[in-house]
Amino acid sequence: MLDVKRIRENLDEIKLLMGRRGEGEFDPKDLDEVLELDDKRKAILKEVEVLKNKSNIDSKKIPVMMKNGESIDAIKAELKELSDRIKEFDAELREVEEKLVYRLMRIPNVPHPDVPQGETDEDNVEIRRWGEPTKFDFDFKAHWDLGTGLDILDFERGGKITGSRFTVLKGLGSKLERSLIGFFLDQHTENHGYTEVIPPFMANRNSFIGTGQLPKFEEDMFKIEGLEYFLVPTAEVPVTNLYNNEIVDVDKLPIKHCAYTPCFRSEAGSAGRDTRGLVRQHQFNKVELVKFVKPEDSYQELETLTNDAEKMLQLLGLPYRVVKICTGDLGFTAAKKYDLEVWMPSYNRYVEISSCSNFEDFQARRANIRFKRDRNSKTEFVHTLNGSGLAVGRTLAAILENYQQADGSVVVPEALRKYMKCDVIK
């Protein structure tokens, strides 16, 4: 959620930056309406203050008048009228504030000036590459064919149990998935300074509002019927909301958490895209990285967060590239975002495996997450960041494809062998 004061003081600049998001993503009139509602809110508060001052003055007259034997009927009637008017203004104020919050909740974050201009993912800018796309001297297979042949992925039974875009992992496939989760968590906690948490896999509406999925993207959520709970689409939601409506200790900043959760997404609007295999599932596992930092540190922390996620791909020996996300592909909540894309031979292209974002104070304002620089300072909003470290199913798919052998077996990356207790999946 944007700061109204920031909008008022930088209206033209914000309109310019927001306009770079592209047609349909932002309407400049929304900002004008926010300021109009805020002006109305201030005017009502001023009127209420005048009436309350008048009421206080009149109330103090009553004991004196009674002492002097004067009638207080007229002043009591006036106080009743003042009280009624204050109640009317209070009701109007609630209505205006609800409209203001409604409007603010639906305005996206302001893109950082460094974010490249663009409309779709084709306009994202490649920053760097690591490794070279895998080459084969035999006819390679897609991961769904490899997994089926090795009897470690069962798409047919996953569909039978639930429906399309659900998969059963078994045998060494299950072990590889579990090994990746353990490997990611061990690396981030032991080498990158994150504290692991295991959060609930469901969250309430207030938590989803805090991280920005609601109210705008409810159609993408799996809601528990009859309850105000939703299945989490990412650990970002419960982990960020650990500190919802709290003032965190400045000495503990930056706070860095990592968490494994299953993730549940309806993938509304993605019909026909990447429907085979593990790339686009309704349920998948992911290890998430979440940071709470001082505002002045957030962009350096974004670089570090991205490097932490990159290190996972490097240790696994998977070729990848880093792209800077353009304005049209940025999403609702981020001010700046990098995607890590792993090489997937069956697609003959790089496929997203992690998004690393700086939200500045956008989420913290919605979730009311603050800190004080010292005992005498005013509270400030932290900056929040998160990134996948990594998406487990897509990593598994990338390992199967990039480490496959001519006989249909798959070499286990060296970094995973102590977890897998084997060198080859066959």
Concatenated DSSP letters for 9-44?
HTHHHHHHHHHTT-TTT--HHHHHHHHHHHHHHHHH
| Pairing between β-strand 370-372 and β-strand 379-381 as defined by DSSP bridges | antiparallel
**Which position among 355, 366, 370, 401 bears the catalytic label?**
355
**Which position among 280, 321, 365, 417 bears the catalytic label?**
280
Residues with Cβ < 8 Å from 201, sequence gap 6 or more? 231, 232, 238, 261, 262
Query: Is 355 an active-site residue?
Result: yes
SS3 101: helix
d(CA 354, CA 128): 15
- Tell me the backbone φ, ψ of residue 388, rounded to 5 degrees: -80, 135
Query: Is 129 an active-site residue?
Result: no
* β-bridge partners, 261: 286
Q: Are the beta carbons of 233 and 264 closer than 8 angstroms?
A: yes
**Angle (nearest 5°) at CA 176 between 172 and 178:** 115
Could you give the dihedral angle defined by the CA atoms of residues 255, 260, 262 and 265, in that order, rounded to the nearest 10 degrees? Answer: 40
**Which position among 265, 354, 370, 388 bears the catalytic label?**
265
Show the tokens assigned to 106: 């639906």
Half-sphere exposure of residue 197: CA atoms within 13 angstroms, side-chain side: 20
Q: Are the beta carbons of 361 and 391 closer than 8 angstroms?
A: no
Show the tokens assigned to 28: 């400049």
d(CA 168, CA 225): 25
Quick one: DSSP state of residue 243? G
Query: Is 394 an active-site residue?
Result: yes
Query: Is 352 an active-site residue?
Result: yes
**Which position among 33, 352, 365, 409 bears the catalytic label?**
352
- Residues with a known catalytic role: 265, 280, 352, 355, 394
